[in-house]
Amino acid sequence: MDHLGWALFDAPFDPLPPMLALEGERCVGLHALRATPLLLNGVPVMGCRAAETVIHPGYEGQGLSETLARASYAAAEQRGFRLVYGRPGDAAEPLIITQLDAVDGGEVQRWVRPLAAPGLLPAALAAPLTALIRSHARGGHDARARITPVTAETRFVLPPPMPRTAKCSIDKSVAWFAWRYAAEPHGAYEQLVLGDADTPDALILFTQARKAGALPVLVVREWLAANAKLRLAAMKALVAQAAERGCGSVVLHTNDLQAGVLLRGALFFPRPGTPLGFVRLGSRETAGPSKPGDLVVLGGDLS
């Protein structure tokens, strides 16, 4: 309940109340959209992310998912929202492309920087190879980088934005950062700041994921910088920190072409990721996203 309250009602902008299916006083279905600020052709607008669909087992197969989604989208459109986006096929966060006339937004790739030898190698080979990989990664150490945990008291200062090439992206602001990362219940985020804390050159938000029997992974949620050179330097500094921690890899999800070029320069490799879909709301004559690549997402935008 804490998580749902935070996700659906506590953001620093007007929420979209969940759409419910009721039989008498009994709730048998729910569809929720998470209000999300967007930049559409450089203009701030409101969009939303397909966040949750839950249908009571006794009412499955009756079209409630589509009915609730259509009702939610109609309510969002009536309030002036311009776009719904999400991950088609995700059972917890469905966006029904065929029924709801959604646009295929392409694939959001999973970029991986390995920091350990493949598990299939014999131990005699894996140990020296891992040592070599991590020694090389530590070469990205940057004395300007500072890493601190994100808490409710964290004061976010964002670097100047880089030029935007995509038609649509998440409108990241200090208030949005404070809600998304400092206020999330049970969140465990850290931030790497490159340069002065009051006028940062670059900022990365990340978390450390652990799985039994596997090396920890640093998962990047945000990656901002004033220019491409600083952005690459910040990522290399984070990779160096991951090597010091004994992590197995650094991972980032994005479909940003510019980011992909820089990630290759930091020795990240693209892997199959997750599909992206979106539904345009309001007038179809507006110059909104209409094809893969028009909507750019990165890391935390999908979660």
pLDDT surpasses 90 at 120: no
| Alpha carbons 239 and 91: distance in angstroms, whole number | 32
Question: May I ask the CATH architecture of the domain 2-107?
Answer: 3-Layer(aba) Sandwich (3.40)
Cα torsion 27, 3, 249, 238 to 10°: value is 150
219-251 per-position pLDDT tens digit: 999 999 999 999 999 999 999 999 999 999 999
Q: In this structure, what are the phi and psi dihedrals at residue 115, rounded to the nearest 5 degrees?
A: -130, 15
108-274 topology per CATH: Aminopeptidase (3.40.630)
Q: Where are the alpha helices (DSSP H) in the chain?
A: 2-9, 64-78, 97-100, 123-137, 174-177, 228-244, 257-265
Look at residue 6 and give its three-state secondary structure.
Answer: helix
What's the one-letter identity of residue 147?
A: I
16-60 per-position pLDDT tens digit: 889 999 999 999 999 999 999 999 998 999 999 988 888 999 998
Mean pLDDT of 149-174: 92
What percentage of the chain reaches a pLDDT higher than 90? 67
| Alpha carbons 148 and 79: distance in angstroms, whole number | 39
From 10-14, 147-151, 206-210, the region with the lowest mean pLDDT: 10-14
Sequence-distant (≥ 6) Cβ neighbours of residue 142 within 8 angstroms: 194, 233, 234, 236, 237, 240
Q: What pLDDT is stored for residue 96 in this prediction?
A: 57
> Is 147:192 a contact under the CB 8 Å cutoff?
yes
Identical fold, 2-107 and 108-274: yes
> Is 175:11 a contact under the CB 8 Å cutoff?
no
Burial of 228 (0-12, 13-18, 19+ CB in 10 A): middle
Confidence grade of residue 288 (pLDDT, cut at 50, 70, 90): confident
Look at residue 126 and give its three-state secondary structure.
Answer: helix
CA 165 to chain centroid: 18
> Is 167:294 a contact under the CB 8 Å cutoff?
yes
Q: What pLDDT is stored for residue 267 in this prediction?
A: 97
User: What are the structural domain ranges in the chain?
Assistant: 2-107, 108-274
Q: Is the pTM of this model over 0.75?
A: yes
The per-residue pLDDT of the chain, averaged, comes to 90
